[in-house]
Every structure is written in C-alpha cells, then in structure tokens.
Amino acid sequence: MPVPLFEEYDPGGDCGCPGCARRRRDLARARAIPLRDGGHPAARGARRALVLATAAGVVLSGGTGAAVAVSGPDPVPGPVTPGSPQGGRAPLHGPSRTGPVKAPAARRQIGRTTIINRAKLWLDAKVPYSMSLYWTDGYRQDCSGYVSMAWNLGTNEWTGSLDTFATRITKDELLPGDMLLFHNPADPNQGSHVTLFGGWVDETRTHYIAYEQTRPTTRKQATPYGYWNNATKYLPYRFNGITGGITPEAPAAGPKPVADVTYPGAAKFGAGANNEYVTQLGQMLSGRGGSRFYPQGIGPQWTDSDRLATQAFQRAQGWTGGEADGRPGPKTWSLLVQKRGKDIPPTVAGATGPPSLRVPPYPGAAVLRPGASGPAVTALGRQLVRKGFGKYYPTGPGPRWGEADRRAVEAFQRAQGWRGTSADGYPGPETWRRLFA
C-alpha cells in the first residue's frame, strides 16, 4: 500500500479566519518569563527587543509574523548535537510561581492539527533555546518543554518523563504530532533530545519534517530518521490524548494495481508516457534498491527518474549498450515482476558503475556562486536536468553560474521539504549529496 504523503500548508498573512487571527495575536504578545530573579538585565533587554521586533514585524508585514530570511553560505544546517542540560519536571511558568510539580489531574485531549499549529507558534516567534527561561505560555524553552507545550500537557516535562504521557508505536505508524524521543539514562544532560514528527518528506521515508527546540531558536527542517546523530536510539511515541487520526489514512483512490504481469509493450514507457504501468515499474524498481532515484515520489508519468532507475537495474545484471538503455524491455520486465536477477547496488564511495551512481566530492560553496565558472557548475546543471529540474534552463546548462542554476537548485531544495535559508538556491554539501545520490 503506498505510504501517504503529508504536505504542509502555510496560510497567507492576510488570512482572516479566527485561528490565524489568534495565532497572530499570540505571536505579537510573545515574551519570555525568567525562572526566578528575572534573569540578567542585559538578557531582559535583549528579550524585550526581540518581542518588540517580532510585534513590529507582525504589523508591518500584514500580520504574518514571519521573519526575514538571511542568506547564508550553506543552505542546510549541519548535524546538531543537542548536548544541552535538560530541565527537570516543573510546573507551568517554573518552580518560583507554583508549588511542587503535579501532573495534570486528567488526560488532556488534543487533535493533530492543533498540535502542529501550537508548534508553529514558537517557530514563528523564533523562541530562543533556554533551559532556565519560560515563554509567555508558561512552557520551558528547551526541547522537552516544546513538546510539553505542543501537546498542551499543563506541566513542563523532560526527556525522562515524556514517555509516561505516550505509547510506543512503530516507524510505519508515525503521523504528524507524534514524537521521536531519545533519553540517555546514563547521562541525561548529554545527548537526550526530542522532536515532533511533522510528516514524511517523501515516500522513501528516509527523512521527515522535524519540529524541534534547539539552539539558537525553534526550527523546522527535513531531518534524517530518527535524527542527525544517535539515529537508532530515537523511539517513536504517540501522545495518549490524541483524538482522531490514530492510524494512517487510506491513500486516495488511484489507478487499480496491474494484475497482468505480461510485458505491456515498449509504447507504455518513454517520453510522454503516462499510465499505470509506469507506476508499477517505479514501485518494482524502488523495491529492488532504486528508491533513491525517486526524490519526488513515484507516479504514472514517465520521467528521467524512471529511465535512470531502469538503467541502474539493467547494469546491475551486467548488461551494457542497448541492453542498458533505461527503457524496460520484455527481459527487464520479466526479471522485475518475477523478483529475479540482481538488485540495484547501493551508492558507496569508490563504487564502480555509471557516473550517475557515484557522488562526486562537494567542490565547495565558492565555486557555486554568482561569478563562478567551471566544470562543477556544468555537472550540477546536468544533474538537475536529470532529476527533472531542467525547466529553468532556456539553453545549457553551461559552466558559468547563472540565475537558472540558482532557481533550479532552489526548486530541488524545496522538493526536499526545506524552506527559508535552507532553500536559497545555493547548494551546500547536503544538497550536493542528495542531488548526485
């Protein structure tokens, strides 16, 4: 059964629905609440400036509260090791405001849409990370406080207690609003971290949209499953108060599976083809090691992804020349439907095979910027065309970096689920790796 895809929708800044209006009001009023003594005067002054700037941005931009993106040299932040002390369990607004920690008297009920919308409040406000400060809603500004806020727990939990409010699930059961938790009992102050699951980036399920509270501020980005580091130690959980959407929704009605395993004929494949056999081909190739060729998913329309995946499978059988032209003939189709032959080998450093299966070393940001010229720019452009992002090139691509290169890279980055400075059109190491993988 195809894995459902989850797509984020951000409403316009002038949306007049009650939910968006309330979200803008909350953002404009946002301010941090210190733990005991009000914090250092300089910190209070910096926080007040942040609040005033945020509120002004809401007014001047028509109420969206979105921050202006600042271009950076690398569009994809590198792996982050949380390594930050985790605040212990605490009441809302911190120990100085209430008595001893008490768990909510009753389980709070909340829907998935509400969880994600609550998570976006901190994302829009760019709440700074802190284990000793509490935001205006009363929740501590660290990763576990963020999940406590999104789930509306009514107390500030930590990585050692969040699992008591949830139930373990499997990777296949993950839905937006669930969490991925890593608690390090040997040293909770180092390595423990938690993220909110926002949906899969694509049907390969190798990356997901993570909402998380980390330095310097709340962020949302495509993240390897389960995280950049300690990946196997992150466990999926579902809040016990979730209402609705307990299991993945059934996929929308589409073309019926092809029951006949007989080769449908060469006319069903190639440029301009759009039919259920192309979908079946993609599904079979993906199951034989070709999922990396489908960064935008498998569909009924023939693309260069289908050609490259077919060619990789053919070459895995030792075929060359016309036998490995990327168009499935009767022999290729027979091996796929009968699950025979050799699988497509994984991409590894130094592996033999066609250039499309090898990832060249990242040439550095300086050679992929305006004014740059060289073979790396040409190779980048050609790979973008192969991946289906060639519509921005009226001619070429060529060795001189141009606006067509930047727009094509930006489109590819957005297809990964990245936004803001992570999709500025300038390829960093992660963009390069995914593009050539």
Rounded Cα distance, 400 and 132, in Å: 50
Question: Which H helix or E strand runs over 149?
Answer: helix 143-150
DSSP 312: H
Which two structure tokens, joined as six digits, stand for 409? 């890279």
pLDDT of residue 367: 84
pLDDT of residue 321: 85
Residue 321: count other Cβ atoms within 10 Å of its Cβ: 6
List C-alpha distances in Å: 426 to 77, 217, 278, 383, 408. Answer: 13, 23, 33, 15, 10
| All residues at 6 or more sequence positions from 85 whose CB lies less than 8 Å from its CB, including other chains | 131, 189
Q: Are strands 242-243 and 193-200 parallel, antiparallel or unpaired?
A: unpaired
- pTM to 2 decimal places: 0.44
Which two structure tokens, joined as six digits, stand for 103? 């768990």
Residue 37: count other Cβ atoms within 10 Å of its Cβ: 7
DSSP 217: B
Contact between residue 160 and residue 233 where contact means Cβ atoms under 8 Å apart: no
List C-alpha distances in Å: 346 to 109, 245, 359. Answer: 44, 35, 11
List C-alpha distances in Å: 402 to 71, 75, 82. Answer: 17, 17, 37
Which two structure tokens, joined as six digits, stand for 34? 């210190």
Rounded Cα distance, 129 and 140, in Å: 9
324-366 pLDDT, tens digit each: 999 999 999 999 999 899 999 876 333 334 444 456 788 888 8
pLDDT of residue 24: 61
126-141 pLDDT, tens digit each: 999 998 899 999 999 9
Q: Considering just the CA atoms, what is the radius of gyration of the chain in Å?
A: 24
Pick from 403, 411, 350: which is nearest to 377 by CA? Answer: 403
pLDDT beneath 50: ranges in the chain: 7-9, 30-83, 98-99, 105, 248-260, 348-357
Question: Which H helix or E strand runs over 409?
Answer: helix 403-415
DSSP 288: I
pLDDT of residue 358: 53
